[in-house]
Copies of this chain bind each other. A is one copy, B any other.
Amino acid sequence: MVGKVGIIGLGLIGGSLARRLNGNGVEVIAWNHRPHPYAAAQAEGIRCVGTLAELAAAEPQVLVLCNPLKAMPGILDELKPLLDAHPGITLTDVGSVKGMVRSQVEQAGLGECYVGAHPMAGNELSGWSAADPHLYDDALWAITVTQHTDYRRFLTIAELIVKDCGNRVIVIDSDTHDRAAALISHMPHVVATSLINELVCNPDRNIAAALAAGSWRDMTRVALTDPNRTRAMVEEDNVNVEGLLRSMAARLTAMADALHDGDVDTIGGFFAEGQPFREYKHAREFAEGELAIPEAGWQQALLESARRGEAIIGFIDEHRVRVRVHAMPTGGTD
């Protein structure tokens, strides 16, 4: 267990994390750019401080950056001398695009003490008033590491997630993370936006909207959120999103051609191709096993484990973990 954690930013993600850790017996110290959540947080036992210097002086093992991205450079600059003075503190964050945060951290000269993290948790709300420790129920986190990441610091963050939050974790590099996030979130946001654009440009848009039911509602939900936030997310990950959009366009065009030609083999193949994902989603029982983490090349060993569909669910000792396996059948798709 990590005994003491500092949280920077008591919004939805940071506030929920602070409440969850506090509820699990971790000593939590928090700083927020405005003190409005402090009374409520302190009533729960979360110690709130007025400056980042006070936060560092409390010497938590981990400092978690839960601030908005736009505040990141300023906060990192302010943290640099504080973390130089307290080198035992490991810095992490909860951002959804890992490459960019890592660049900012390295630019600020804090790369050595940093281990990236991204909890798959969140909802449409924001702010401390929406913070809820249950937001992290059954959450999976990605930890992002480099060839230079210190194993002890990685271990601290992994234990914080697995032991103190009670969550699962996979360990990958920032590029793999951001490519995967482009596939399951950033690119689909563009697709959802294209769907509503297609509707708006149709002369029968009001008729189509009147007839829209569950499939349309679900597929366009994310296009209804603030388009500026979506745009920023897409532009931050533009290279990955661009490639995936071209691949999707090719898939849709191939299917249009097959419908035009009445090419039943191609149509059949199109509807069969995703079957491994359907089976993955229908899986209800997961194998568990033990994974030994080698001292040399631990990053690659953990990346390969994640590629096999394994997530860390517990620590046996510092070099052995329990994993749960949730993987797609490979079949003919490899």
State the A residues within 8 Å of B (CB). Answer: 118, 120-123, 140, 142, 170, 172, 176-177, 179-181, 183-185, 187-216, 218-224, 227-228, 230-231, 234-235, 238-239, 241-253, 255-256, 259-260, 262, 267-268, 270-278, 280-282, 306-309, 311, 326-328, 333
CA distance A187 to B248 in the complex (A): 14
B277 contacts A211, C-beta separation under 8 Å: no
| CB closest residue in chain B, given A333 | B200
Known: A122-B214, A184-B199, A215-B222; 16 extra A-B contacts, CB below 8 A, are A123-B214, A170-B210, A184-B208, A185-B212, A197-B251, A198-B244, A203-B307, A205-B277, A207-B306, A209-B277, A218-B218, A218-B221, A219-B222, A227-B272, A231-B271, A243-B256
CA distance A207 to B171 in the complex (A): 10
B216 contacts A271, C-beta separation under 8 Å: no
CA distance A253 to B196 in the complex (A): 16
CA distance A170 to B251 in the complex (A): 34
Residues of B within 8 A of A250 (CB): 249
A188 contacts B195, C-beta separation under 8 Å: yes
A189 contacts B215, C-beta separation under 8 Å: yes
CB distance from A140 to the nearest CB of B (A): 6
A204 contacts B218, C-beta separation under 8 Å: no
Residues of B within 8 A of A195 (CB): 188, 191, 248
CB distance from A215 to the nearest CB of B (A): 5
| Interface residues of A, dominant DSSP | helix
B200 contacts A267, C-beta separation under 8 Å: no
A219 contacts B192, C-beta separation under 8 Å: yes
A249 contacts B241, C-beta separation under 8 Å: no
A212 contacts B184, C-beta separation under 8 Å: yes
CA distance A250 to B197 in the complex (A): 12
B267 contacts A206, C-beta separation under 8 Å: no
List, sorted by A's number, 12 A–B pairs whose CB atoms are closer than 8 Å.
A170-B210, A180-B202, A194-B248, A196-B273, A198-B244, A198-B247, A206-B309, A207-B306, A218-B219, A223-B278, A228-B271, A249-B249
A185 contacts B249, C-beta separation under 8 Å: no
CA distance A280 to B199 in the complex (A): 12
A198 contacts B120, C-beta separation under 8 Å: no
